[in-house]
Structure 1
């Protein structure tokens, strides 16, 4: 009886340690699953491409299997006692492996740039995940009990009977180690399965919250300005929000919130009766996604900022992107509304097709648009954007930087005009425009270099505009310094766009710090080919390392551009 209890306690103790390991590893995996927006295919793609499978704990468990197997040693006295001792060591790698796995999982989270946010959804997924792991561990312990107990002379490898031809097995330890090995490799799938099991409940919760938002919106009835585009939508939203807020109480979705549930939360928690304008950024994650968002907040005025390469990976073709973006125009025209379109941000043929397919009251903004963009000037204090509307020329002064921001200013101002604001009010608001965080945000302290923070979600147009700013903002005898990991979500255009910008970088920089160069080889190659020997190129494995070098080596008068800052999914070489 005592031996039976002892034989059960050791596997049970190992299972408890394994459960704690699974909890710590689950939190780390959940962090990346959350960064992939709970999208299972994208999560598994990341797992495969980064080879983020468990190695260390698995190696310990393989070692446990080897320790659980001891050669038959007939030449030694007390052979069975020695074998029993050696086989007993097989339990040590099991416990050490899980302890090592716990520490490694914690290290991955502690070194992450974007930590796990413990939302209610994450807590529900983790609770379900732990229930699944407990069930599996109970099975593992019970299965181990089926193995023969104790030290067993198990297998003859050679009939000769010569030493080192037979093996002793601790079947229980070996079987347990093998089952634990399978269990460890299953953990990423368990996270996804837990999320899948919760989908019906999650959908019910989402539907409830969404209906509450729909009812509240129907009661308050603010004038909705919906904005979408492959790039420029968030910056344009901030500019338009500042203009409209100077005229009447205005609410805009914060940051880059642009999903169904994100907008739902803003309506439920922030929309008030006094808000006359509600600016809603709408993200396109596939055909039909914007149409669905428009059923939540039907637009009175819609704005399409661009149809371009950003998020090309999701849509596979610009035609598909254009159709998805112009769902916003269909919704606005269905309410008798207006649509403002960046004519210069969409391929001419694509734009013509969309204007014919979706007809209504458009205001085209561009070099030869209804509101004509006549150019811009960059000064140390910001931009002066010149536009022409109905024969009148207007100079819009705004303390923002970048060629692309000039276009965003023109779009925001044109949208404000479509809402009935006079040009005088628009000009006055733009003059006091605050900078937009992480979007060509320029700052300079006395005796320090000029910092250009363009760290959020870089795209080809914004990248090029930011490079041009270096020439304007660098001081005499200062250096133009770029820190960048490149861009993401460009799909088939990844190599082409990075090569183009690599060549451009050589013309606008004196020092270039490339982060994760293996991810953007075409950028590095084009930069080196265009380099006439005046550009110093350095490579770094992590953004933090590049930033530390810059801080240790910058000088007053330098202009330093931080172009993009990738999440752990793209930068970190995760190794479990």
Structure 2
């Protein structure tokens, strides 16, 4: 974080600086400079850091103020004062204060003149695209990007607060569960480049329908100015329509020949994906992309488009893309096993689009005679679309001729029923209630050379099942 005095922080947070007698005795004053990491997790607090006590759905961060101080916090942001020997800023709402804090830090770093901000949104692919763009940009200069999927009203500002005076790039992943949330994040850190990947049914239950999802994702480009850039997916008609909603210059990416940043000669194998990257300046280069699945080529194109607009040349873009060995932990993560068994663990998140893409990838990369198994769990947050979309996935399993389907959990039962009711399929469909039952079933009958996909939303917990299946067959390793 930037060097800021306690008085400056209190003003930015629109709060009251409180210094107890013990804090004053410990040497704290309004002029004390703070530059440590800011976090809402007391377990991550170290010497010199700032702890923000956030009220959550299941717990209250105020319970952890004293442990945070014991771990070395020099400032706590709280909604009521504590008797502690460190500085406090008391605010009405810790989450709102966190946003104010991020806004001020971004403003100050912007004023130094070097920072460029890229905002990324979409129903799928945000985290992968963020990771790919970070891999490209961190070779060019100091780059700040979120860990995991830190893309909401808490995670995004925590990422922004990692900026320093020497930061050159901020890659901000911007998610939302309702209208106005992306706008709020953009007003903390307005992008120079806004990237929209896809508009699909992910979180449709929370949004209230696909049209609300579209309106929410469009917020990414509506506030962009004529000197900014909107990087849009030409292959997604909903995203393409956003060109009419932005004042920014539009750069298209996709597989279409009309896209300025495009891929040709895409070849998906069990070892990754190869394609030829084409950029707007006419340059092209073959890419050997270790991340599995054609859908991740689109994420690579989006990252390449943003990087190109920031002045990065094709050689540097390709070299960086080829160093990325997986999209993210539990996202199309390929694990090698004994006797040629391969496990694809893609159970960190799931939507109808990403589930279909994962099944398609299995169908494409499976060798002749190789048995394929799909272990599928619930796709969460689909609301009224849940039964219809789970049913569609069950029918896709049949269409792609996956040999064995194991459906885990009541929320995914419609996948099992749809596959069983689909005719002319020689495969086997099994329903189990728990991940433990699924593990026992798979462990008892895994063939040499089998290809096993594990896919569900994070809430279904199957990512750990994928690890267990891989570990049961070998010492887990990510294939190069």
Which TM-score applies when normalising by structure 1? 0.60
Supply the distance in 2 between the matched residues of 1:520 and 1:450 (Cα, whole angstroms): 24
* Post-superposition CA distance 1:6-35 (Å, at most 9, x none): xxxxxxxxxxxxxxxxxxxxxxxxxxxxxx
What residue number does 1:320 align with? 212
Q: 1:365 aligns with which of 244, 253, 268?
A: 253
Cα distance in 1 between the residues matched to 2:435 and 2:91: 36
1:414 partnered with 2:414: no
- Give the match for residue 61 of structure 2: 120
1:255 — aligned with what?
148
Alpha-carbon distance in 2 for matches of 1:458, 1:287: 21
> Aligned pair in 2 of structure 1 residues 298, 533: CA closer, same or farther (>3 Å)?
closer
SS at match of 2:384: helix
1:512 paired residue number: 405
Q: Tell me how far apart the structure 2 counterparts of residues 501 and 217 of structure 1 sit (CA, whole Å).
A: 43
How many residue pairs are counted as aligned between the two chains? 377
Distance 1:543 1:119 in 2: 31
**Higher Rg:** 1
User: How far does residue 477 in structure 1 lie from its aligned partner after superposition?
Assistant: 4.6
Counterpart contact for 2:180–2:216, Cα < 8 Å: yes
Q: Give the equivalent residue in structure 1 for 2:116.
A: 223
Structure with more helix by fraction: 1
User: What's 1:429 paired with?
Assistant: 320
Aligned with 1:339 (options 218, 230, 239): 230
How far apart, in 2, do the equivalents of 1:546 and 1:520 lie?
Answer: 13
Cα distance in 2 between the residues matched to 1:302 and 1:294: 10
Given that 2:222 and 2:245 are in contact with CA atoms closer than 8 Å, whether structure 1 keeps it comes out as no
1:466 corresponds to which residue? 358
Which blocks of at least 5 consecutive residues in structure 2 are unaligned? 1-54, 66-78, 80-89, 463-480
Distance 1:555 1:266 in 2: 44
When residues 545 and 420 of structure 1 are mapped into structure 2, their CA distance, relative to the original with a 3 A threshold, is same
In structure 2, what is the equivalent of residue 285 of structure 1?
Answer: 177
Paired position in structure 2 for 1:534:
426
For 1:433 and 1:419, how far apart are their aligned partners in 2?
20
Q: Corresponding residue for 1:389?
A: 279
Q: Partner of 2:154: helix, strand, or coil?
A: helix
What CA deviation, in whole Å up to 9, does each residue of 1:285-307 have, x standing for no partner? 22211111011111111100111
1:302 to 171, 179, 194: 194
SS in 1 for 2:252: strand
Give, in whole Å, the separation in 1 of the partners of 2:96 and 2:387. Answer: 41
Q: Is the 8 A contact 2:135 2:321 kept in 1?
A: yes
Q: Distance in 2 between matches of 1:309 and 1:329?
A: 20
User: Could you say if the C-alpha distance between residues 497 and 203 of structure 1 is closer, same or farther in structure 2, counting changes exceeding 3 Å?
Assistant: farther
**1:431 Cα shift?**
1.3
Is contact 2:223-2:246 (8 Å) kept?
A: no
Contact kept, 8 Å, 1:240 with 1:416, in 2: the verdict is yes
Partner of 1:403: 294
Structure 2 CA distance for aligned equivalents of residues 431 and 413 of structure 1: 12
Contact 1:476–1:557 (Cα < 8 Å) also in 2: no
| CA distance in 1 between partners of 2:91 and 2:177 (Å) | 19
For 2:443, the equivalent position in structure 1 comes to: 551
Q: Does the Cα contact within 8 Å between 1:447 and 1:556 map onto a contact in 2? A: yes
- Give the number of the structure whose residues are more often strand, by fraction: 2
Helix, strand or coil at the partner of 1:420: coil
Q: Kindly indicate whether residue 379 of structure 2 is the aligned counterpart of residue 490 of structure 1.
A: no
